[in-house]
């Protein structure tokens, strides 16, 4: 068995379990919290809804809100997407009917769209939209905003926590079942006698003794870890702890925990290009959304707020 196969068989698939752990505190929030990412998404939604055709709106999706956005904000952003689609159709109907020569009807529909998206995201601010629109042609300002995002969203720019473990894995398909039983029994006795785990693991982890001690060490993250076998790696394991034997995918396994690394934030220079591109796209969307100076006074001040039923049950 090669090292890649060992890796996949042993640790393939914890993402659905441990990736949700950080949400325990997020879900305790009673109100959506201010979050620039949600603002940016709402701006993109507003711009997209104003520009795209009916056929495109059917498949229009808000960009994925990042992991540090609260669950209530995500639900409200989903409402914003639906609202954008509905408002686009209303806007086009008003424009098509030409009920008045003035722009008041289409203006009202656009303002209603903007207001409801603002309420749904709990963030969208007209001055913020204008400021973002101006960034589009200013490389220095784009970089400064990207750096602000970097400082404000450390989770998004962090490498996950990881743990170093050694794995003893015996495959009956390679050795035969009886030999596998004998091997795991001998391995346990040798470990109990104080022999080095990595040496023992290297000796018994392949049908032929071709694996070195360094080849039984792995770095694993919570998202990769199989919960029933290695979840302790990110909980209460102490350096030197040995667990097993387990049966994993029909193979016998033992695991030794060495160390754990906390999440680390990547340097800004590593993420700057991608983040500047994100800001540039958002700024371009905001610039398109700013038919604003002519069409948008202050929607919340000058027009009725959306009906409560539009967001009821989502706060």
DSSP output for 207-266: SSS---GGGGEEEE-TTTS-HHHHGGGGTT--TT-EEEEEEETTEEEEEEEEEEE--EEP
Every domain of the chain and the residues it spans:
3-19+161-262, 31-157+268-310
**CA distance to 64, 94, 214, per residue, from 259 (Å):** 33, 64, 15
pLDDT, residue 193, reads 93
- pLDDT > 60? residue 274: yes
Q: Out of 63-72, 176-185, 217-226, 237-246, which region has the weakest mean confidence (pLDDT)? A: 63-72
Contact between 146 and 278 under an 8 Å Cβ cutoff? The reply is yes
User: Does residue 3 have a pLDDT over 70?
Assistant: no
* CB contact at 8 A, 124 and 46: yes
Return the pLDDT at 191: 92
Residue 102: C-alpha distances to residues 49, 213, 297 (Å)? 22, 79, 16
87, 113 Cβ separation under 8 angstroms = yes
- Kindly report the pTM of this predicted structure: 0.40
DSSP character at residue 156 = G
Distance CA 270, CA 38 (A): 23
Our measurement of the distance from residue 8's CA atom to the centroid of its chain's CA atoms, rounded to an integer in Å, reads: 22
Q: State the first-to-last Cα distance of the chain, in angstroms, to the nearest integer.
A: 52
Residue 57: both structure tokens together: 């709106």
Higher-confidence residue of 134 and 290: namely: 134
* Residue 245 reports pLDDT greater than 80: yes
Residue 15 confidence (pLDDT):
29
Across the range 133-137, mean pLDDT stands at 75
Of the candidates 264, 166, 157, 162, the one whose C-alpha atom is nearest the C-alpha of residue 223 is: 162
The pLDDT of 11-18, averaged and rounded, is: 31
Task: State whether CATH 3.10.50.40 applies to domain 3-19+161-262.
Answer: yes
| pLDDT score for 238 | 84
CA contacts within 13 A on the Cβ side of 231: 11
The residue whose two tokens read 């919960």 is 227
What percent of the chain is predicted at pLDDT more than 70? 42
Residue 184 has pLDDT above 80, yes or no: yes
Closest CA to 271 of 161, 155, 146, 152: 146
**What was the pLDDT predicted at 33?**
42
Tokens of 22: 């950080």
Instruction: For residue 250, name the pLDDT band (cuts at 50, 70, 90).
Output: confident
Tell me the C-alpha distance between 34 and 60, whole Å. 24
What pLDDT shows up at residue 197?
93
pLDDT in tens, 279-310: 887 777 666 655 433 443 443 333 333 444 44
User: 190 pLDDT exceeds 90?
Assistant: yes
Q: Report the DSSP beta bridge partners of residue 253.
A: 169, 246
Quote the strand ranges of the chain, DSSP E. 158-159, 162-170, 217-220, 242-248, 251-261, 264-265
More confident residue, 174 or 142: 142
Lowest mean pLDDT among 111-120, 155-164, 218-227: 111-120
- Average the pLDDT over each of 95-104, 181-190, 202-211 and give the range with the smallest value: 95-104
The confidence band for 45, taking pLDDT boundaries of 50, 70 and 90, is low
Model pLDDT, residue 55:
36
Confidence of residue 314 (pLDDT cuts 50, 70, 90): very low
Using DSSP, state whether 292 is helix, strand or coil.
helix
């Amino acid at each position: 068995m090669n090292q890649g196969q060992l890796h996949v068989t042993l640790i393939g698939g914890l993402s659905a379990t441990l990736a949700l752990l950080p949400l325990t505190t997020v879900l305790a929030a009673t109100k959506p919290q201010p979050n620039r990412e949600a603002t940016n998404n709402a701006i993109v939604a507003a711009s997209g809804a104003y520009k795209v055709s009916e056929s495109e709106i059917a498949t229009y999706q808000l960009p994925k809100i990042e992991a540090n956005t609260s669950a209530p904000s995500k639900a409200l952003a989903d409402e914003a997407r639906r609202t954008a689609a509905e408002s686009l159709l209303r806007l086009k109907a008003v424009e098509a009917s030409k009920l008045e020569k003035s722009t008041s009807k289409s203006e009202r529909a656009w303002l209603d769209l903007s207001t409801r998206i603002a309420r749904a995201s709990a963030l969208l601010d007209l001055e913020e939209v204008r400021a973002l629109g101006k960034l589009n042609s200013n490389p220095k300002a784009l970089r400064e905003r990207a750096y602000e995002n970097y400082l404000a969203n450390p989770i998004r720019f962090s490498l996950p926590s990881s743990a170093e473990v050694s794995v003893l894995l015996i495959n009956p398909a390679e050795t035969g079942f009886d030999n596998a039983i004998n091997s795991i029994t001998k391995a346990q006795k040798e470990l109990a006698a104080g022999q080095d785990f990595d040496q023992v693991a290297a000796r018994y982890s392949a049908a032929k003794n071709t694996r070195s001690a360094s080849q039984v060490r792995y770095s694993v993250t919570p998202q990769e870890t199989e919960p029933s076998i290695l979840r302790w790696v990110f909980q209460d394991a102490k350096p030197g702890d040995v667990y097993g034997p387990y049966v994993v995918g029909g193979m016998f396994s033992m695991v030794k925990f060495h160390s754990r690394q906390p999440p680390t934030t990547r340097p800004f220079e590593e993420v700057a290009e991608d983040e500047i591109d994100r800001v540039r796209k958002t700024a371009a969307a905001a610039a398109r959304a700013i038919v604003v100076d002519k069409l948008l006074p202050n929607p919340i001040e000058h027009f009725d707020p959306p009906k409560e039923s539009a967001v009821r049950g989502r706060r």
